[in-house]
Structure 1
């Protein structure tokens, strides 16, 4: 039987205000005990670790995905087609998949290419898949559930923190569980559409 939760003692995070607003808390940008406990509850509900009440980048990116869940393509950035399209929104750092106007894979947070190594925009096609792929370019880095769509750029899972290092070398990184679910949905020949500008990059 679990004992009482440890006191929530995280300080003010860089994304304090968006979390406060979403959770119906006073929007003052300053962490309180009530804020900390509410943010920790949000993290727990969305399987984020650590669930410590700190409004950091991983929690914010998850918030963006949650807020987009009902209508991820409300702005019309991803073309609606009568075939399956995996949509990669660089501006919001989100990925989802849609068939026509039906969303078959709910939006999830991703990490795309860093400045000078941006994920290439436009239409792409998955041309090769490798479930247990290991990079031959980047120090034997694991790339589980890799689905390659453009000259070495791939959708793939990441074993480590999704948000360390400022960005990928062009691939679209997903949390491991999300990458596995996407692998189960897609196949060679499926279409990927990438658009927008990742915050902090030049294109």
Structure 2
């Protein structure tokens, strides 16, 4: 290190004054045309600029801030809330409201089909109420109990009781009658094990 560089470094690191810098600058030999130009302002500098390389450059991202996200995902184990548009607590499967004579299909707490009109059990043959699960499905069930009466698109949720195509004006023997189109939708949508809730 030359005497001039040592003096500047020493002044910068030790917080020295211009008295430490001037004599060395006066004794040094210029090495370029820029160094030969003498300026009174340069010789009267009281504190040389810092030459430290350990200082990080100022951040340029302080003026732009990414907006915070407020959307939160529900926990993986959390179940969807019951839909307030239906009278059932189940969030998947089927919901039947006997007094309103309506039925719905649900998935993830949302109505995916319905309400559709239904008829249910007549006096002496009530449709069971409660929460059940689909037991079996049969595309064309023939009722042995009622003279081989056809029950298209049968989805059984209780022993002897099913969703199926039937009259929407005459009460059933406990089954939930649907229109032909609705029974097909229930048959194609519901799987064995899916919940079925029937409310009075």
TM range, smaller chain: 0.5 to 0.7
1:189–1:90 distance in 2 versus 1, CA, 3 Å: same
Partner of 1:108, secondary structure, is strand
C-alpha displacement of 1:74: 3.8
Any gaps of 5 or more consecutive residues in structure 2?
A: 1-82
Match of 2:88 among 75, 78, 89: 78
Match of 2:187 among 178, 183, 188: 183
After the TM superposition, which parts of structure 1 deviate over 6 Å for at least 4 consecutive aligned residues?
none
Match of 1:132 among 140, 149, 161: 140
C-alpha displacement of 1:75: 6.1
Match of 2:168 among 162, 180, 200: 162
Q: Following the alignment from structure 1 to structure 2, what is the Cα–Cα distance between the partners of residues 123 and 108?
A: 19
Partner residue, 1:93: 101
C-alpha displacement of 1:76: 5.4
Contact persistence 1:127–1:148 (CA under 8 A): yes
Partner of 2:186, secondary structure, is helix
Q: Following the alignment from structure 2 to structure 1, what is the Cα–Cα distance between the partners of residues 180 and 154?
A: 11
Using the size of structure 1 for normalisation, the TM-score is 0.55
Using the size of structure 2 for normalisation, the TM-score is 0.56
Q: Do structure 1's residue 153 and structure 2's residue 157 form an aligned pair?
A: no
Contact persistence 1:88–1:95 (CA under 8 A): yes
